[in-house]
């Protein structure tokens, strides 16, 4: 099976498992796990932020900042495509108490002047804007750095916090050559995932200033995310940051080859093809398309009415050639 469902399906490689096996560990709730400490220092180097904290998941990395800077009566300004709005069971409001305000966007890319129209200052009868949330990449699309800089400027002049969901920030950085630190500079805090294209079994890292990370540590405990000898998992993160970042370029090349093959078929209409993701529409029934590919050993998902393909280290150059061959040889009569 060629698994194109998500980059979360990656499995730790032999070398990553060896790094995990030999990790030095301690009780991280007491701040005594040297491997976790090392991973956090690496994240600070990479993002340029004062402090970092390992969190159990991307969802937790999003929720904690929204809880610190949002809360009852407060708003987070975000796009209607964002993960916090669509895929986190409404935690932003159900657990965080914060109202998400949807800013019109182009596939998740918001413009500062559009955001400006939706900022609410204090009024006795209105919720108040507290946070702008950017997601980079968003549905695989890299946020243009100029837009991010304009958003940060707008936030600073309105005393708003900027949280960046950088689940796939390394994909953005590898694609554009713009460093993660430059992207992180456009946000007050940033979280990135180790458990997606970087190939780790778990974890995200949240980075921000000292005061913010101290508060984050308490909230992580409150949410049940204080874990003990997690250096075993942090070692996978260190391995990934040292070995699996540059290779994300391969995933982007594989995505381009597969997207070009789909575009040539006549039955697939590409909506988004960027970094490691493809979203496509079809005038054929998408469930049937997904089922036909599954019969040929290619797994991908239907999201809304679109097909969604995600490349990761699950897929080699040779696999990509075979997937392209399967796409080219697919008979649309199979879509029944
Ligand atoms: C953009 C984005 N943010 C956050 C998350 C949440 O990550 P996790 O599944 O680790 O909670 C995901 C997961 O796919 C994501 O795609």
pTM value surpassing 0.95: yes
Q: Is the CB of 57 under 6 A from ligand 1?
A: yes
Q: Specify the DSSP element, H or E, that contains 278.
A: strand 277-281
**Buried (b) or exposed (e) across 69-106, using 16+ Cβ within 10 A?**
bbeeebbbbbbebbbbbeebeebbbeebebbbbebebe
For the chain, the first-to-last Cα distance in angstroms comes to 21
Reference 142, options 173, 164, 121; nearest CA is 173
Q: Is the CB of 7 under 6 A from ligand 1?
A: no
Q: Is the CB of 58 under 6 A from ligand 1?
A: yes
- Collapsing DSSP to helix, strand or coil, 36 comes out as helix
Q: Is the CB of 133 under 6 A from ligand 1?
A: no
Q: What is the pLDDT of residue 317?
A: 98
Q: How far is CA 209 from CA 65, 95, 145, in A?
A: 12, 23, 21
Q: How far is CA 156 from CA 23, 84, 111, 118, 208, in A?
A: 41, 22, 15, 15, 16
Q: Relative to the CA of 60, which ligand 1 atom is closest?
A: 11
Q: Is the CB of 276 under 6 A from ligand 1?
A: no
Q: Relative to the CA of 168, which ligand 1 atom is closest?
A: 1
- Domains, the chain, in order of start with CATH, read 12-243 (3.40.640.10), 247-334 (3.90.1150.10)
Q: What is the pLDDT of residue 336?
A: 78
Phi, psi of 50 (to 5 degrees): -65, -45
Q: Is the CB of 85 under 6 A from ligand 1?
A: no
**31 C-alpha to ligand 1 centroid (Å):** 25
Residue ranges in the chain whose pLDDT is less than 50: none
- How far, in Å, CA of 115 to CA of 104, rounded? 8
Q: Is the CB of 165 under 6 A from ligand 1?
A: yes
Q: What is the pLDDT of residue 218?
A: 98
Q: Relative to the CA of 165, which ligand 1 atom is closest?
A: 3
CA 247 from centroid of its chain's CA atoms: 17
Q: What is the pLDDT of residue 249?
A: 98
Q: Specify the DSSP element, H or E, that contains 100.
A: strand 99-103
- Asked if residues 53 and 216 have their Cβ atoms less than 8 Å apart, the reply is yes
- How far, in Å, CA of 302 to CA of 292, rounded? 13
């Amino acid at each position: 099976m060629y698994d194109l469902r998500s980059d979360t399906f990656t499995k730790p490689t032999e070398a990553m498992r060896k790094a995990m096996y030999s990790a030095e560990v301690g009780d991280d709730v007491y701040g005594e796990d040297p491997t976790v400490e090392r991973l956090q220092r690496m994240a600070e180097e990479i993002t340029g932020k004062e402090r970092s904290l390992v969190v159990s998941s991307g969802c937790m990395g999003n929720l904690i900042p929204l809880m610190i800077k949002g809360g009852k009566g407060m708003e987070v300004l975000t796009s209607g495509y964002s993960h916090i709005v669509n895929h986190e069971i409404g935690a932003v409001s159900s657990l965080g108490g914060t109202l998400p305000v949807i800013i019109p966007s182009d596939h998740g890319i918001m413009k500062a002047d559009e955001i400006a129209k939706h900022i609410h200052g204090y009024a006795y009868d209105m919720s108040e804007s507290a946070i702008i949330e950017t997601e980079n990449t968003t549905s695989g699309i890299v946020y243009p750095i100029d837009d991010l800089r304009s958003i940060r400027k707008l936030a600073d002049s309105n005393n708003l916090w900027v949280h960046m969901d950088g689940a796939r920030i390394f994909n953005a950085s590898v694609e554009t050559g713009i460093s993660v630190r430059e992207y992180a500079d456009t946000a007050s805090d940033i979280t990135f995932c180790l458990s997606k294209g970087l190939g780790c079994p778990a974890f995200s890292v949240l980075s921000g200033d000292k005061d913010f990370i101290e508060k984050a540590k308490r909230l992580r405990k409150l949410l049940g995310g204080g874990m003990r000898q997690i250096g075993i998992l942090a070692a996978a993160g260190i391995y990934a940051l040292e070995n699996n970042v540059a290779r994300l370029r391969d995933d982007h090349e594989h995505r381009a080859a597969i997207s070009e093959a789909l575009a040539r078929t006549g039955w697939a209409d590409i909506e988004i093809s960027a970094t490691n993701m493809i979203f496509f529409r079809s005038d054929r029934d998408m469930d049937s398309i997904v089922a036909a590919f599954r019969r040929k050993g290619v797994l991908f998902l239907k999201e809304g009415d679109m097909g969604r393909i995600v490349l990761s280290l699950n897929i080699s150059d040779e696999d990509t050639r075979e997937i392209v061959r399967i796409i080219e040889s697919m008979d649309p009569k199979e879509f029944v």
